[in-house]
Homo-oligomer: A and B are copies of this chain.
């Protein structure tokens, strides 16, 4: 059962006599908005004649648009389809100049009638003057630009890949020229042919705002209702997850019987979207692509609410319980009391799981719950009665505690989205003094993974939401925790840094360096690196947020995102070389990173100047 709400659906008319009447019609037929040219083609000449005369005389436009703009509702429901587009990039100076003036007038009219969105259809890659005109209005006109692209370029191409790549290249060029402005979106116009999987993924990485469905791509089912092919349905279902709006195009405004079936069909498809995992949904809803500064539980004490959220994870503690159980039965015997130390016990979930594992295995255990956060200690003591003598609560930083005995099993959950980024290595290195020589660390190993990612939505966010008090590069040198949603993974993830516990190297060096090379199977633009981790708890029992091995329903960690300062558009089969460092000083740990192939970027975050983690 889906809780996905029905998407907003609009209807596109090529022309109508009176815009206000059309708005009323669309609304009465339950359509959310109307897409329509607000200027009739023949008004072009009127506009040009009046251009520059200062006394604008738009009688025919005025009568057609009578009543439009009277209410805010009406403006929201009206999407202006811009007519005078192609000729602004004509090689003929006269045609270009005339078209430019017409386009500027048309945009001014849209602004006058307070429309919130304009639609511009892009038919080829000659978009440079069109884009410049859009750029010149972005900070003065209020509407958003919806640029419409076919999924496949018309004309002759060597192969289908090339034909379906072209429209994305046009969009990529427009978006880069407009410097990833937040009022600029792509809209896809579907055709009878459905894009390849790679092309779909590439578009799903863009901030697609709407999808146009021409009625001619529908077929009629046995009951006489319009339906789409299964391939179309699958693509649309993916688009619905990006919260796109739909536009039905090609209905005769005079045939009111056609309005409802298309709406019904879209409702029907929406119901086909995957059954929602309610736990996952409650964790991710509203967090899609939202940038969060990573927690620093070592330097800052977490709030009870934060513990509360993480304790809800349906799989993490199951895995820990399994790991502790397996370690007990494989490594120890039931006669002796096994000393388990939970370092970083928080409010106690791992203490409970250790107790459950011991009960299930029928083992005697004594548990030390070590926690530095004084507020979490209160929560621990509140469970003391229940736990009895089997649990000793220790209010200490695990790195400085001097216990009376050593541990058989040391259990911790100090992992961040990137594995080591909450300083699990530094903490466990400090704690392993009181792990027996043959003792076990759960987890015993964790590895970070990276993957180049196309994520223009995040790039735009970083570009436009800067803290004016920080240097211009600060946002681009800060790793964020983010539920990656509207993005495209450009290559397979690769492992980066691994840490093992216990670690008996002398001296222990937790700094790391690696160069990782990726091959890009298909064209895309890199905006940063996604980061993940996989942790081995005991033998094969693991938890992972790395896409290929992701533990089902594990919700405690969103991926990391490491930005890069300049977007890099990559051709099919090109190689990326990424360099990554984990740097340590006496008081801080930080990452530095850069790209050196196919182009060299500055080293990001040198000396941890924009972001570091306090020890």
Among A178, A509, A599, the most chain B Cβ lie within 10 Å of the Cβ of: A599
Residues of A within 8 A of B (CB): 52, 96-97, 128-129, 131-132, 135-136, 138-140, 172-173, 176-179, 466, 472, 507, 509, 513, 515, 566, 569, 579, 581, 583, 592, 594, 596, 599-603, 606-607, 609
A136 touches B607 (CB 8 A): yes
User: A600 touches which one: B172, B472, B515, B592 (CB < 8 A)?
Assistant: B172
For this complex, 21 residue pairs linking A to B, each with C-beta atoms less than 8 Å apart, are: A97-B509, A128-B515, A128-B579, A129-B513, A131-B603, A132-B579, A132-B592, A135-B606, A138-B606, A139-B607, A172-B600, A173-B600, A176-B600, A176-B602, A177-B594, A177-B596, A177-B600, A178-B603, A179-B602, A179-B603, A569-B600
Q: Are A596 and B128 in contact (CB under 8 A)?
A: yes
Contact between chains at B602 and A178 (CB < 8 Å): yes
> What residues of B have a CB within 8 angstroms of the CB of A599 in the complex?
569
Contacts of A601 in B (CB 8 A): 176-177
A507 partner residues in chain B, CB cutoff 8 A: 52
Interface of A is mostly: mixed
Quick one: closest B residue to A97, CB to CB? B509
| Residues in chain B near residue A513, CB distance under 8 A | 96, 129
With A128-B515, A132-B603, A569-B599 known, 16 other A-B pairs at CB within 8 A are A96-B513, A128-B579, A131-B603, A132-B592, A132-B606, A135-B603, A138-B606, A139-B607, A139-B609, A140-B607, A176-B601, A176-B602, A177-B601, A177-B602, A178-B602, A566-B566
Query: Are B606 and A136 closer than 8 Å at their CB atoms?
Result: yes
Chain B residues near A569: list those with CB within 8 A. Answer: 599-600
Q: Inside 8 A of A178's CB, which chain B residues have their CB?
A: 602-603
Q: Which of A509, A566, A583, A603 has the most CB of B within 10 A?
A: A603
Cβ distance A122 to chain B, nearest Cβ, rounded Å = 15
Q: Which residues of B contact A581 (CB under 8 A)?
A: 132
For A136, the closest partner residue in chain B by CB is B607
Docked Cα-Cα span, A592 to B507, in Å, equals 57
Least Cβ–Cβ distance between A280 and chain B, in angstroms: 37
Chain B residues near A594: list those with CB within 8 A. 177
With a 10 A CB-CB cut-off, give which of A128, A139, A509 has the most chain B CB atoms.
Answer: A128
Which residues of B sit under 8 angstroms from A579, Cβ to Cβ?
A: 128, 132
Tell me, rounded to whole Å, the shortest Cβ–Cβ distance linking A186 to chain B: 15
